[in-house]
Amino acid sequence: MHISERVAAATLSGLASFAILLSGCGGGQSNAIKIGLQGPMTGDYAYEGKGFENAVRLLADRANAAGGILGRPVQLLIEDDAGDPTQSALVAQRLVDGGAIAVIGAYNSTATEPASEIYNEAGILHITPSSTAVRLTQKGFPLFFRVCFVDDRQGQFAGDFMTQVLGAKRIGILHDNSTYAQGLGEEARRHLERLAVDVAFYDAINPTDKDFAPILTRIGAQRLDAVFFTGYHSQFGLLMKQSRALGLPITWVAGDACNNPVMIEIAGAVNAQGNYVITEPLPKDLDYPEAHDFMAAYAARYGEPPASTWTIMAAEAFHVIRTAIEQTGSDDPGVLANHLHTTLKDLNGLTGPILGFDEKGDRLGTIHLAYRIDGQGHFVVHERQPGEVSAAQD
């Protein structure tokens, strides 16, 4: 027993010194500004992770080609969290150890949550491009921000859209028990109950399932006017495909984790047709010079323009970090965070004007849209959220 403990201790200390050696080797660019990125490069959400990486690499290379930030080169540290909370905590620790001053990520709220604890502890600026669960900013972490918009506003818009635009009287809500999906489902339910609308069905699927025929058969028997699915795109594709195969006339409305073309590929355009997705504007509908410029550069480098909103949001996060460093002349996370909370106002962003961030780190305003999926599987703007960005407060 003693021997094995001693062996274990020796192995551990050996590993530790090896790690120190390794991190020492990375010191070639000692004055570099290190920016971390974590996202799902593998797994169900790999499409979005790849988009994150492409966007951030592009902007970092452009910054370096223009002489760096504050005359210092940008060095990217990229880690794969696979969308998994356990792996997310591991890679977050790696980014902290690697000396990042700011981290962009993660994609899904379930992975962002444990990472935000670690970055908060380590005093690193943390901006998520895409994790919209309300509770993430309820913890009072002073260095945590998001460039996306929060789910309470999305849930309200979804509720208003289904009742007022689609004229739905009986509504169902389906989530997948993830931090994000459950949060969004609850927000929508609360809003619908305030409007005195009948939420006749409320349940959850398992995200690892492939066969949804049983739950779809039950939903079909309820004669609902619309079903709001708050989970992720792979499952939404399967849900639309299988509900058509069962001949169920369900009108689906999905949240902003379903705004990418992979979902159409999984469902088949025929099966996706006529359903709706609520989301921040898609890249093609961002009519801002910063967005056009980024899309053109992205298309030139990767062969096609980005199709997912979250790719642009990742670029937006980099843009915000870069702007904060340039405006403050500092790379101290505390100084940067303070600047974002108090001073930064009306920045021209890729996804529209960034009015600023509130004391919790949430981006002010809201810009959700409802898209209808047409026969070719394209997203067509159907309805805009009343009082977009310009009129926003709170």
Partner 1 sequence: MQLLQQLLNGVTIGSFYALVALGYTMVYGVLKLINFAHGDLFMWGAYAGLTALTLLAGGPWAAGTWMIVPAGILVFLCIALAGVLVDRIAYRPLRSAGRLPPLISALGVAFVLQSLARNLYGASWRTYPQIAGLSGGIALPGGLRIGALQILVVAIAFLLMAALSLFVHRTRIGTAMRAVSIDPLAARLMGIHVDRVIALVFLIGPGLGGVAGLIVALYYGSFDFTLGWTFGLKAFIAAILGGIGNIPGAMLGGLLLGVVETLASGYVSPQWKDVIAYATLIVILIARPTGLLGERVAAKV
**Least distance in Å: CB of 82 to partner 1?**
8
**How many chain residues are in contact with partner 1, going by CB under 8 A?**
34
Q: Residue 204 belongs to what H/E stretch?
A: strand 198-204
| 376 is a contact residue toward partner 1 (CB under 8 A) | no
Residue number, 194 or 218, with CB nearest to partner 1: 218
The helix/strand count (H/E) of the chain reads as: 13, 14
Distance separating alpha carbons of residues 135 and 101, to the nearest angstrom? 24
- Which residue, 236 or 371, is less far from partner 1 as judged by CB? 236
**Residue closer to partner 1, measured from CB, 124 or 264:** 264
Q: Is 375 in the site for partner 1 (CB under 8 A)?
A: no
- Interface residue with partner 1 among 72, 241, 284, 339 (CB under 8 A) is 241
What is the identity of the amino acid at 73?
P
Which of positions 26-85 make contact with partner 1 (CB under 8 A)?
Answer: 41-44, 46-47
CA distances from 18 to 5, 24, 60, 128, 192 (A): 20, 10, 29, 32, 57
**Whole-angstrom Cα distance, residue 366 to residue 17?**
49
Neighbours of 123 (CB within 10 A): 14
Q: Is 88 in the site for partner 1 (CB under 8 A)?
A: no
Phi, psi of 373 (to 5 degrees): -90, 125
Residues 375 and 270: their CA atoms lie apart, in Å, by 6
Q: Which member of 168, 262, 350, 367 binds partner 1 (CB under 8 A)?
A: 262
User: Candidates 249-257, 266-274, 288-296, 353-361 — which segment interacts with partner 1 by CB under 8 A?
Assistant: 266-274
The residue among 127, 194, 192, 149 whose CA lies nearest residue 388 is 149
Q: Is 245 in the site for partner 1 (CB under 8 A)?
A: yes
Q: Which of 290, 342, 278 is nearest to 316 (CA)?
A: 290
Minimum distance, C-beta of residue 106 to partner 1, in the bound complex (Å): 16
Residue 276 engages partner 1 in binding (rule: CB under 8 A): no
The site for partner 1 (CB under 8 A) is made up of 41-44, 46-47, 177, 203-206, 208-215, 217-218, 221, 234, 237-238, 241, 245-247, 262, 265-266, 268, 270
